[in-house]
Structures are given as structure tokens and as C-alpha cells.
Amino acid sequence: MQTVRQLPALREAVAAFRAAGERVALVPTMGALHDGHLALVEAAKRAATRVIVSIFVNPKQFGPNEDLAKYPRKELADSRMLSTAGADLLWLPPVEVMYPEGFETTVSVAGVSQVLDGAARPGHFDGVATVVTKLFNQVQPDVALFGEKDWQQLQVIRRLVADLDLPVEILGVPTYRDDDGLALSSRNAYLIAEERARAVALPRALGFAERAIAKGDDPEGALAQARETLAAAGFEVDYVALADAETLGDPVAGRPMRLLGAARIGGTRLIDNIPVTTNEHG
Ligand code: PAF
């Protein structure tokens, strides 16, 4: 696996892939890799002949009181994992390559960026949209893969790609879960053992609410019950919401819906989401 930190070297490597007629996949990450990221790499290998993984802890998607400084950085372990997993190239731009002095541009996707996590974390999705646009322009992949765990992020990126006619196919990869159901996340590393044990309340509360809604119970009651369950497990709830799966706005009869939750345990903010299967709402 090649490791590249400067743009000219990246462009040269990608040009060589292209000259050889390869189909190029990009897996954008912020590092601190886990099995969920490896599932993205595996899916990328099925979707393309060359796999580029980027690791960049993007300062623009962290709020002023968020965890940018303590976000786990594990370059050596990540690089070994990716090499074993069969990635072809690791794109590791330093911050001054991604955002050189004088950088002034923000990419902002209205609507889908403004609700739920967008409301709870102002500016977060602008930071994501800006860095993902840059990564697409740097790598120029045929296909890019994102985890469904960050469901709203995936919808923001789909909107961005459609609106700006970006020539890249976006693939969502199902959430990778621990045996007890907790979605894997680099931030799970912050949880102490007792918080980790209680964290499973998040997928369980969502699953319980989903089954209630699917069998026709009042959604508001099911969501309220999920919030109560989470509060009883020691979570501070940001939101538990039923939303249109694509726009993240209010559910619309006949369109796919998603159940999403965000809550803090100790100092750690966890998110999760699942599809809602009802005949009534499609
Ligand atoms: O999901 C992530 O790890 C990040 O938000 C992403 C897409 C790599 C952009 O920084």
C-alpha cells in the first residue's frame, strides 16, 4: 500500500490507476479505524479495482466545544490495518495541504443539513460537505463509500453530489455492530466499561420504537418511550426522531422513513439509526 501526503503525488498515483484502466473507489475516514471501516474497504474492493482510503481529522466539522483535540489518532495502527485489508493507497493530507493559508470556501447543503444533527451541531455538515467536496476533487474517484451509521451525513453527501453534478457514485454500507447491537464508532473508545455496558440502550430503544411503529402504534408515543428509556439508562438525549429517509424532514406517507437517535453518555455523544418498515408508510 502506498502512503501519500502531498497532492502532486496523489494525482500521479491516481493518473497511473486511470492509465491502467482501473476503477477507483474512495473510502473517506477520520482514522481510528475499526471493523466498520474495514467493511467499507471490503465493499470498496467489490465496487472497484483500486481502493484509496483517506484519513483526515477534519477540523471544520468539529464545533468549538467538541472533541477535535482528543479525537483518537492512530496513524501507524490504521496504516497496518488498511494494508492488511488490501487498500491500494492511503491518502493522508496534513491540515495545511487540505486547508492552505488563505482558504475561504465553504460548501453548504441547505435543508437536509439543517435538522437533527445539523441543528444539534451547527456548522458540522458544512465542514463535512466542504472536506468531502475537496476529497472528491483531489481523488476523482468513480465511486465513494460511506457508512449508514452516519445516515444524515450520507443523505447530505447524496444531495451534494446530485446538486453539483459531481461525477461519483455514492454507496452506503450497512452499519457494523458489536455482538450486543452497539454501532461501531471511533468515539466508542471514549466509553469507560460501565458506560459501554449502558450504551447498548441506544440501539435497543430504537429497535423497540421501530417495532412499535411498524405494528401501527402512535409514532409520537413510541418516540417518547424511547427517550424515557434512554434517560433511565443515564443518557442525555439530543433527539429521537422519525424522519423521511432522504430529506430527514417530517415523514411523508408512502416514502421510506428512518428512525434516528443521538444521545450523550458521560461526555460521549453517540448516534444511531435504523430503517422503519411499515406497509402504511412504505
Ligand atoms: O464519516 C467520517 O468519518 C467523516 O465525516 C468524513 C466523511 C470522512 C468527512 O470528514
Contact 226, 155 (CB under 8 A): no
> Which atom of ligand 1 approaches the CA of 56 most closely?
10
Given a cut of 80, is residue 126 above it in pLDDT?
yes
28 Cβ below 6 A of ligand 1:
yes
- CA of 30 from ligand 1 middle (Å) equals 6
Percent of the chain past pLDDT 70, that is, above it, reads 99
67 is in an annotated binding site: no
- CA of 175 from ligand 1 middle (Å) equals 14
If you take atom 3 of ligand 1, which residue's CA is the nearest one?
29
If you take atom 1 of ligand 1, which residue's CA is the nearest one?
29
- CA of 150 from ligand 1 middle (Å) equals 9
Q: Classify 25 as helix, strand or coil.
A: strand
On average, the pLDDT of the chain sits at 97
Q: Residue 39: which of 176, 153, 141 has the closest Cα?
A: 176
> Which atom of ligand 1 approaches the CA of 28 most closely?
8
124 given a catalytic annotation: no
Q: So what's the pLDDT on residue 207?
A: 98
164 is in an annotated binding site: no
At 281, which amino acid appears? H
- CA of 47 from ligand 1 middle (Å) equals 20
Given a cut of 70, is residue 203 above it in pLDDT?
yes
Can you tell me the mean pLDDT for 57-79? 97
For the chain, give every domain's residue range: 2-173, 186-274
Q: Residue 253: which of 282, 222, 273, 225 has the closest Cα?
A: 282
Can you tell me the mean pLDDT for 177-181? 98
Pairing verdict, β 236-244 and 257-265: antiparallel
Q: So what's the pLDDT on residue 282?
A: 42
The correct CATH number of 2-173 out of 3.20.20.80, 1.20.120.10, 2.40.50.140, 3.40.50.620 is 3.40.50.620
Strands of the sheet with 169-173, listed across from one edge = 2-4, 89-91, 50-55, 24-29, 143-147, 169-173
Whether 2-173 shares its CATH topology with 186-274 is answered no
At 259, which amino acid appears? L
Name the region of 81 (left: φ>0; alpha: ψ -120 to 50; beta: rest).
alpha
Q: Classify 35 as helix, strand or coil.
A: helix
Given a cut of 90, is residue 278 above it in pLDDT?
no
Q: How confident is the model at residue 281 (pLDDT cuts 50, 70, 90)?
A: very low
Contact 116, 241 (CB under 8 A): yes
34 is in an annotated binding site: yes
150 Cβ below 6 A of ligand 1:
yes
Pairing verdict, β 268-276 and 257-265: antiparallel
Reported as a single tens digit per residue, the pLDDT across 104-113 is 999 999 999 9
Given a cut of 80, is residue 194 above it in pLDDT?
yes
Given a cut of 60, is residue 280 above it in pLDDT?
no
If you take atom 8 of ligand 1, which residue's CA is the nearest one?
29
DSSP class of 262:
E
Can you tell me the mean pLDDT for 216-237? 97
Given a cut of 50, is residue 230 above it in pLDDT?
yes
Which of 37, 134, 159, 281 does the annotation list as catalytic?
37
132 Cβ below 6 A of ligand 1:
yes
Say which CATH topology domain 186-274 has: Pantoate--beta-alanine Ligase; Chain: A,domain 2 (3.30.1300)
Strands of the sheet with 268-276, listed across from one edge = 236-244, 257-265, 268-276
